[in-house]
Structure 1
């Protein structure tokens, strides 16, 4: 487990007993590289992630998919796969948010707090596809961090725990040239949050001066 995880206030019965990165490799989720993913905040309009001193990490949404959603089974499957792709993107982003300065990594994630899935679909009650589509995002989070709908679950129970299950809203009626845009909030140990903020600030990508600092320390 992560160096901060073992000191966190969690019931022993709900602690993960596996390395998150083993599952990430088995699931084929790419994590990129420092040079590709750890970049400057210069010129950015929004942050990709914000670390709050309490231990909450807010990840901005990312979009995927080609088609708007409706209640056709094939179209829902397209959206489900797109949602899974967005989960992979945010897991990759979270990895670098926690690890780029050497402070922690994904094994320090305590649990997942809240997700929001914004699905491109007709409004006015014409489609009820949003929850089924957003499941692609949520269930991928289960598979990595533990949850009842994980690829590793048996009879609805993941032997790795429940750190991936989360509160969620899934809403349709949005417009856009994609299928879904989810965002998510996770919890990390407050001690890790404070170390990240003290070392390189609360925002990812990094302010230019902090990017220079982190690069120099590698």
Structure 2
């Protein structure tokens, strides 16, 4: 596990028992390279992630999927795959948010806190918002642990439950995609302070911090 995770207040019964990156590799989630993912905030009006010094990471929403949702099984399945793609995007962003300065990585994540799933559907009788958003939630549980993830048996994940989160899943939004979810993640406050002290609270990095981190890798 990560050094910050090892020093956290998580009780032994709730601690993960595996390397998160082993699951990421087995699930085929591509984290990409430093050069592909660590960039400057210059010219951007929003960021991918904000780190609060108390130990929360707020991940911006990302839209995926090709169609608006309805209650047919085919559309719901399409939305669930889109949700999984969104989770993969967020996990990649979270990895680089936490690791680009060398402070820690995904093994230091404590647990998921809250997800919001905004599902695109103009059908006023649409009732599958939660089912669609399950594709997003289940992917987090597959990586960080939970009873509906890929590693659970009979609803029990032997690796833990830190991927489980509170959630709102709401339909009725418009757009040329299927859903846009967000996630709030808990990390140790000590880790949050180390990151903010070294390179700030925002990812991508402000230009001067980006130059600093890139230079440190040279």
TM-score normalised by structure 2 residue count? 0.99
The corresponding residue for 2:210 is: 211
Check conservation: 2:70, 2:123, Cα contact below 8 A. no
Separation of aligned partners in 1, 2:43 and 2:13 = 45
Alignment of 1:115-134 (within 5 A): 115-124=115-124, 126-134=125-133
In the alignment, structure 1 residue 75 sits paired with structure 2 residue 104? no
Separation of aligned partners in 1, 2:138 and 2:79 = 13
The corresponding residue for 1:188 is: 187
Alignment of 1:119-158 (within 5 A): 119-124=119-124, 126-158=125-157
Separation of aligned partners in 2, 1:123 and 1:101 = 45
Structure 1 unaligned blocks of 5 or more: none
Tell me the number of residue pairs that the alignment of Structure 1 and Structure 2 aligns.
217
SS in 1 for 2:3: coil
Alignment of 1:12-91 (within 5 A): 12-91=12-91
Separation of aligned partners in 2, 1:24 and 1:112 = 16
Q: CA deviation at 1:123?
A: 4.8
Separation of aligned partners in 2, 1:137 and 1:19 = 21
SS in 1 for 2:184: strand
Check conservation: 1:114, 1:166, Cα contact below 8 A. yes
In the alignment, structure 1 residue 104 sits paired with structure 2 residue 74? no
Check conservation: 1:123, 1:174, Cα contact below 8 A. no
Structure 2 unaligned blocks of 5 or more: none
Check conservation: 2:50, 2:203, Cα contact below 8 A. yes
TM-score normalised by structure 1 residue count? 0.99
The corresponding residue for 2:172 is: 173
Q: CA deviation at 1:47?
A: 1.2
